[in-house]
Amino acid sequence: MDGIRVGKRVIGTQAPVTVGWENIPKVEGGPVRQFIFTWFQPTMLFALLAFWYYAPNSIAKASVGVGIGIGFRVLLLGLEWVNPRFESWRLTWKELVTDLFYVGLGYTLLRFVDSYIGSDVMVKAIQVHVHWESLKWFTGLPLLLQAFLIVFIFDFGQYWMHRGMHNWYPLWLPHSVHHYITQLNINKGAVGNPVELFLIGLGVGGFFDFVPRAFLLAGTFGLAVGSYQHINVRFNSPRWWRFLFNTTEHHSLHHSQDYESTRSNYSNTFIFIDRMFGTCIDGEAELLGMEGGRRMSVREQMTYPFTEGWKTLKERFGRPSAAVPAE
């Protein structure tokens, strides 16, 4: 394959990719379908922001946020069914079970571990020793700006953690498991080795949760923007949206079977962070995964970083195997 030159690199030499928004297919179907899948993303984002901005204090609660989050994800699952981006990414029962297993781990075991040794502990320790007065400048900011900063700080940290995972072997080992997925679906973001899920969750964005309403608004960015990173839905995302936000197009390139493409689009919510650091490529890919699209079993997903790490250590530091004598 010849590949396509993007800046200093050539991508798509190992697997087919599409580069450039003008080459990406549009939503097919009648005017109603086109209208829905063109305006769904911005409408939901602004509707949710408006809801949390104006909701009375009796409604602006975490439990309502959890309810909305679940409802929205079920709605997105429905959209995947109605308007898939690729038929080859269609959700199957086995994929759903695997995805939900990891979502479940995130809500139970990982959350439990996090409360002892993760970012929760880290942030709590910092908050105890920080003088409240010194943070008045932040809590006095407009709510939407506070929300944006909470997400941006978290996303900025996550960008570098993610980029580090693709550039430093010890971090790549746990992250590599996530790159064995062969299709994108709404819950695929949760699939990965638990060590990686713990690492990627580290961040101090949650440090700025002093104003509950700002925190709920920040959660909206995660829900109404971040959720589209792994989704099998064809949208006609507006130009400004795909300039600012990470989309499933961007993220499919990141998961492509083409190695050079995977070294792009590292951010979680704001793709402009990638644009700032020169790692953004606008495009999409259908063929995803590693090793030609081999799907890892759950057992291998759990053990792979350790077995691979051990193999590498043995190769590097182990005794060389005895030479086979010539006959």
Partner 1 sequence: MTSPVRLAQPWAPQPWGATDGAPSTASDPLFLEKFPSMRLISWIWHVRGSLALPPAQSSEDAFDRLAPLFREAGTRHERIDDTLTFHKKDPTAQDKMSVFDGGVLRIEKSPAGPVLRYHLVSRALLFCFLLAPLFLGFAQLTIAMGKFQKPATEVAGHHGKAADAYKKAAAKAEADKAAPVPLNPIDKFLGAPEPEKPKKGDEDKPGRRNKKPSPTPAYVFAGIFAILYVVGRILEDRLAKALFKKRLLDVQDA
- Would you tell me which residues interact with partner 1 (CB under 8 A)? 53-57, 60-63, 65, 88, 92-98, 100-101, 103-104, 107-109, 111-112, 115-116, 120, 123-125, 127-130, 132, 139-143, 181-183, 206, 209-213, 215-216, 219, 289, 292-298, 300
Q: Which is nearer to partner 1, 115 or 312 (CB)?
A: 115
Structure-block tokens of residue 27: 């939503």
CB of 179 to partner 1, least distance (A): 14
Q: Output the CA angle 301-228-278, nearest 5 degrees.
A: 85
Helix (H, G, I), strand (E, B) or coil at 270: strand
C-alpha distance across the termini of the chain, in Å: 43
Q: Which is nearer to partner 1, 100 or 276 (CB)?
A: 100
CB of 131 to partner 1, least distance (A): 8
Q: Which is nearer to partner 1, 55 or 195 (CB)?
A: 55
Q: Which is nearer to partner 1, 57 or 239 (CB)?
A: 57
Q: Which is nearer to partner 1, 5 or 124 (CB)?
A: 124
Q: Which is nearer to partner 1, 41 or 146 (CB)?
A: 146
CB of 206 to partner 1, least distance (A): 6
- What is the Cα–Cα distance from 26 to 313, expressed in whole angstroms? 48
- What is the Cα–Cα distance from 268 to 62, expressed in whole angstroms? 22
Name the packing angle between helices 93-107 and 109-117 (round to 10°): 30
CB of 138 to partner 1, least distance (A): 10
CA gyration radius, the chain: 21
Query: What are the residues whose beta carbons fall under 8 Å from the beta carbon of 102, sequence distance 6 or more?
Result: 187, 190, 191, 192, 197
Name the packing angle between helices 143-165 and 212-224 (round to 10°): 50
What ranges in 142-235 are assigned the alpha helix state H?
143-165, 169-176, 194-200, 212-224
- Burial label, 321 (beta-carbon count in 10 A; 0-12, 13-18, 19+): exposed
Q: Which is nearer to partner 1, 120 or 243 (CB)?
A: 120
DSSP-derived secondary structure letter, 10: E
- What is the Cα–Cα distance from 246 to 189, expressed in whole angstroms? 13
Element (H, E) at 312: helix 298-317
Q: Which is nearer to partner 1, 183 or 264 (CB)?
A: 183
CB of 236 to partner 1, least distance (A): 26
